[in-house]
Amino acid sequence: DLALSEAAAALEAGEVPVGCVFAHPARGVIGRGRNNTVASRNGTRHAELEAIDRMLDVDGVPPESVAECTLYVTVEPCLMCASALRQLRVSRVVFGAANDKFGGCGSVLSLHADGGASAAGDPPYPAVGGVRKAEAVALLRLFYAQENQNAPQPQKRTRKQLELGAEAARETQHLPGSERGGREPDS
């Protein structure tokens, strides 16, 4: 419920609705986060990293406490976040929706598992997906159904730009190594 609440707050703020909580077995929730990529104008400010930074830097949670936590997150951690979680030695990850484009816990790569890329031999962690998937997917659908006010405006190409592009393509087709008929230089 708490991770979904964080995701709903992200949606309300115009962010991709991903939320997470770090649950410690003895101390309960010790960290929470939600996507903050739009407001911060920083593509790395995912929910997991927001929560980690807040826990370690602001709240002073020792890193070894993170190693005892289960992360509950609405969407499968991306490759970057899955790697960070492994380096922090998180105990377990439970996620809702799979991340078919960037998932680091099985959808694209299995960075969480034995044989997954790890820094300095960091131990793997179990990851379980599909928990509260319907609610997580519903939030994502709401986000993608609305107009993103922060998306860059598509630019129409002027006739001059199109002519310059065509001219550049013609000029480069005769260069060595060009895919349009040029040949590789002799070695």
Q: Which residue numbers are catalytic?
A: 48
Inter-residue contact 89 to 123 (CB < 8 Å): yes
CA atoms lying within 13 Å on the CB side of residue 123: 8
**What DSSP element (H or E) covers 177?**
none
Closest by CA to 118, choosing from 88, 154, 162, 78, is 88
Instruction: Work out the number of other CB atoms within 10 angstroms of the CB of residue 13.
Output: 13
Structure tokens at 48: 């997991």
Q: Please, which residues have CB within 8 angstroms of residue 15's CB and are 6 or more apart in sequence?
A: 34, 35, 36, 37, 38, 39
C-alpha 147/C-alpha 14 separation (Å) is 10
